[in-house]
Amino acid sequence: MTKILVVDDEVGIREMLHDALSLAGFQVVLSADGFDAVKLLRETSVDLIIADINMPKLDGYQMLER
């Protein structure tokens, strides 16, 4: 099963993407910010990352660089 990481600081967006992707048959992992996403990616692998660019602490570009 394809695993997708959704990274967004807005709860509503995370939940909407989770529901839509889950219904489409994907396994979805959620993260509320870039720092948590980097930690999560050290522990597990994913096939695709959907990340918000404008997040506090660590934005989407910085997260992907790490």
Given a cut of 90, whether residue 57 has pLDDT beyond it is no
Given a cut of 90, whether residue 9 has pLDDT beyond it is yes
- Per-residue model confidence as pLDDT tens digits over 16-42: 999 999 999 999 999 999 999 999 999
Distance (Å, whole) CA 56 – CA 59 = 6
Dihedral pair phi/psi, residue 19, rounded to 5°: -60, -45
Given a cut of 90, whether residue 2 has pLDDT beyond it is yes
Q: What is the pLDDT of residue 15?
A: 97
Alpha helices, DSSP H, located in the chain: 11-23, 34-43, 60-65
Q: What is the pLDDT of residue 56?
A: 85
Given a cut of 90, whether residue 43 has pLDDT beyond it is yes
Task: State in Å, rounded, how far the first CA of the chain is from the last one.
Answer: 25
